[in-house]
């Protein structure tokens, strides 16, 4: 896979506005700084218009919802749409509670998203496919993840990215199957949330019409950084992995990512 946006993220230092959850805010901000972007983590509805319009990307994460945060997300997303700023959705636990289900549906209805990134359970819910999700975790199911990604992309006019042991990134017609990663990712809370912010950073520098490649590249770079971070660690060393992941997001090169990338276009 050609890695063409990582160096652009570092050169352009895009401002990525995150409305995220209390679990992931610090980890996501540090990860964005490491990879070369500039994070802002703000959720007051009173400043959403200014922040969203001044940002290079907006990432909306529904992990810890309340009525004020929902209104802030709607304001930020709509302002970003008006300004032509790409918006990314992370539908954490989308099918778990009525609030999450209703919020996900409303956000998808009222905001144009450049990308939606979630685990299999979250994305299956959005696609209307049966899946046994476990809270905010992926859970299990037998549905075809490629078809789920394609369906979401087609229904919502976005890039759909499903993360897991294998990642699927689709624009509705073309799909990238990404085979990098490490079993330590699900042992670190907010590792998926950080990926969504990284997707936002890459979306911010994507060339017109090239969002599919930008999102697939973001997922690949992140997964390869995880592989490098996990080297020499036991499966019980999730704390060490979390720190090492931030370090490797800062040090990974385009050549390293390209050499280790295992990508199939299907």
Q: Find the helix or strand (DSSP H, E) in which 161 lies.
A: strand 159-163
214: burial class by Cβ within 10 Å (0-12, 13-18, 19+)? buried
The binding site comprises 41, 117, 163, 190
The binding site for ATP comprises 117, 163
Cα(168)–Cα(113) distance, integer angstroms: 17
Q: Give the pairing of strands 132-134 and 137-140.
A: antiparallel
The binding site for substrate comprises 41, 190
Q: How far apart are the first and last CA of the chain?
A: 14
Contact partners, residue 47, CB within 8 Å, separation at least 6? none
Cα(131)–Cα(142) distance, integer angstroms: 8
Q: Which parts of 62-181 are beta strand (E)?
A: 87-90, 115-119, 132-134, 137-140, 159-163, 167-170, 175-178
β-pair partners for 140: 132
CB 163 within 8 A of CB 172: no
Contact partners, residue 194, CB within 8 Å, separation at least 6? 24, 27, 28, 31, 222, 245
Cα of 15 vs its chain's centroid, Å: 16
CB 170 within 8 A of CB 150: yes
CB 216 within 8 A of CB 169: yes
């Amino acid at each position: 896979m050609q890695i063409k946006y990582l160096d652009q993220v570092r050169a352009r230092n895009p401002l990525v506005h995150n409305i995220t959850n209390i679990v992931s805010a610090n980890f996501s901000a540090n990860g964005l700084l490491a990879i070369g972007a500039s994070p802002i983590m703000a959720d007051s509805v009173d400043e959403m218009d200014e922040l969203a319009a001044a940002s290079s990307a907006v990432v909306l994460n529904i992990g810890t919802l309340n009525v004020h945060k929902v209104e802030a997300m709607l304001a930020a997303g709509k302002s970003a749409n008006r300004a032509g700023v790409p918006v990314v959705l992370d539908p954490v636990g989308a099918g778990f509670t009525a609030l999450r289900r209703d919020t996900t549906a409303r956000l998808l209805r009222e905001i144009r998203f450049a990308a939606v990134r979630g685990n299999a359970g979250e994305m299956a819910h959005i696609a209307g496919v049966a899946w046994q999700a476990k809270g905010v975790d992926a859970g299990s199911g037998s549905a075809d993840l490629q078809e789920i990604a394609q369906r979401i992309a087609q229904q919502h006019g976005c890039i759909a990215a499903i993360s897991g042991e294998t990642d699927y990134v689709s624009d509705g017609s073309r799909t990238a199957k990404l085979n990098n990663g490490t079993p330590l990712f699900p042992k670190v809370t907010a590792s998926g949330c950080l990926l969504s912010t990284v997707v936002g950073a890459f979306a911010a520098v994507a060339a017109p019409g090239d969002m599919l490649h930008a999102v697939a590249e973001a997922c690949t770079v992140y997964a390869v950084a995880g592989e490098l971070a996990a080297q020499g660690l036991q499966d019980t060393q999730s704390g060490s992995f979390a720190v090492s992941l931030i370090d490797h997001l800062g040090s990974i090169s385009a050549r390293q990512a390209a050499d280790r990338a295992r990508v199939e276009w299907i």
